[in-house]
Amino acid sequence: MDFFDTLSLEDGEIKLVLDRTADADPVKGWVPAYYFGICSASGVRMGECDLRVGQNEGLYYGGHIGYTVYEEYRGHRYAARACRLLFSLAKKHGMDHLFITCNPDNTASKRTCERLGGELVEIAELPEDNDMRLRDGETEKCIYRFDL
């Protein structure tokens, strides 16, 4: 897979600054990914996000997009703004839908997914062999689908 230029991922209030890309790792079941800093227009780093490109079972549970906004910058909808920018990058890769997942007790992420127009597909129990279950002890994920 070719990675695209990401310099245009900005909306006037935030910009996504590419930290790195990662090639697929078929042995681990990982797809290619972009990793970004979520920055203010002036360049202050306020969080991080990533886009995983492709489709596989792991992405259903882990999501195509991950994000975190640093505590001092929360409450300004920066995660939603970053996701919208990542939606445009996913479309460039020919993706017609993607999933964002979160823990059932993560009210802020659930609100972000709802504001973005995501459809709650299910609250799924993670498979016994899922990395998030084995590594982090997580058992369930809210799975939101976004049609692009």
* Cα–Cα distance measured from residue 4 to residue 45, given in angstroms and rounded to the nearest whole number: 22
> Tokens 């990914």 appear where?
33
Q: What mean pLDDT comes out for the span 50-74? A: 96
SS3 assignment, position 55: coil
For 104-130, what is each residue's pLDDT tens digit?
999 999 999 999 999 999 999 999 888
pTM exceeds cut of 0.85: yes
Distant-in-sequence contacts of 28-37, Cβ < 8 A, 24+ apart:
29/56, 29/57, 29/58, 30/58, 31/55, 31/56, 31/59, 32/1, 32/3, 34/3, 34/6, 34/89, 36/6, 36/9, 36/82
| DSSP codes, 11-51 | -SSEEEEEEEEE--BTTTTBPPEEEEEEEETT--EEEEEEE
Q: How far is CA 94 from CA 35, 46, 55, 98, 119, in A?
A: 19, 29, 11, 11, 20
Domains of the chain (ranges; CATH) run: 14-147 (3.40.630.30)
pLDDT of residue 19: 98
